[in-house]
Amino acid sequence: MRIISGIKKGHQVQAPKKLPVRPTTDFSRENIFNILENTFFLEKIEVLDLFSGTGIVSFEFASRGSKSILSVDSNSASLAFIKKEAKNLGFENFNTIKSDAINFLNKTELKFDIIFADPPYNYKHHKELTDKIFDKEVLKEKGQFVLEHSKHTDLSEHKHFKNKRTYGQSEFSFFYKNIKTE
């Protein structure tokens, strides 16, 4: 894995092979960030990365100068790797929390401009996760939630769903806090 853009562009991130993760591919990340950069000034946003795994999405936001990044994962080894790599990269706007995503959302009072989530493909709670983000108002005004999932998950009927993109075996559903419904 490599960081696609920003101050650490080209840096290779070598996660331990024993981590139980499926990192977002370079190709997918590049395309998703192209979309996000057309909507946000990444230097001014606060980001929540749920199911952060290797931290590569968080590192991408940090490399592009995002104001703050919070990586949440329930796996201690993943978080230890993310903390170590963030320190090695010199990212100071970076925090981690060990928690299940739903539990974190239930307890947090923080708000974010962008929430990115990449749960395991066999995750069974996509709708609950999405509902929780909007019910708990974890997104700021005009915020955006990006959910990576398999092609077998369809959330297009969700009231905050805007669109989806497919890259290889992964789909990315985009949800916005304020969508005019017709």
Provide the whole-model pTM.
0.93
Phi/psi region, residue 53 (left: phi>0; alpha: psi -120 to 50; beta: rest), is left
CA distances from 84 to 79, 92, 100 (A): 8, 12, 21
Domain spanning 45-176: CATH 1.10.260.40: no
Contact predicate 111/139, CB 8 Å: yes
pLDDT at residue 68 above 50? yes
pLDDT at residue 181 above 60? no
Q: What is the mean pLDDT of residues 112-138?
A: 94
Q: What is the mean pLDDT of residues 104-115?
A: 97
Q: How does DSSP assign 49-76, residue by residue? A: EET-TT-HHHHHHHHTT-SEEEEEES-H
d(CA 173, CA 10): 27
Digit-coded pLDDT (tens) for 35-53: 999 889 999 999 999 999 9
- So where are the chain's domains? 45-176
d(CA 137, CA 28): 27
Average pLDDT, whole number, for the chain? Answer: 92
pLDDT of residue 45: 96
Q: SS3 of 173, please?
A: strand
β-sheet bridge partners, residue 161: 175
Q: What is the mean pLDDT of residues 152-177?
A: 92
pLDDT at residue 182 above 60? no
